[in-house]
Amino acid sequence: MTQKPNDLEREASSRMGEDAFADRVGDDQATGASSGEPDPFAVLQALQSENASLKDRLLRTLAEMENLRRRTEKEVADTRAYAVTGFARDVLTVADNMHRALDTIPAETREAADGALKTLIEGVVLTERDLMNTLERHGVKKIDPKGERFDPHLHQAMFEVPDTSVPTGTVMQVVQAGYVIGDRVLRPALVGVSKGGPKPQPAQPQMVDGDDEDEPQGHA
Q: Give tens-digit pLDDT for 74-127.
A: 888 888 778 888 888 888 888 888 888 888 888 888 888 888 888 988 898 899
**Residue 89 domain flag:** no
Average pLDDT score over residue span 16-38: 54
**Residue 87 domain flag:** no
- Which position has the higher pLDDT, 32 or 161? 161
Number of domains in the chain: 1
| pLDDT (0 to 100) of residue 220 | 34
Spell out the residues 6+ positions from residue 161 whose beta carbon is closer than 8 angstroms to its own: 172, 173, 192, 193, 194, 195
pTM for the predicted model, two decimal places: 0.57
Burial of 179 (0-12, 13-18, 19+ CB in 10 A): buried
**Residue 212 domain flag:** no
**Residue 171 domain flag:** yes
**Residue 33 domain flag:** no
Q: Is 29's pLDDT higher than 90? A: no
Question: Range with the lowest mean pLDDT among 62-66, 73-77, 169-173?
Answer: 73-77
| pLDDT (0 to 100) of residue 208 | 45
**Residue 182 domain flag:** yes
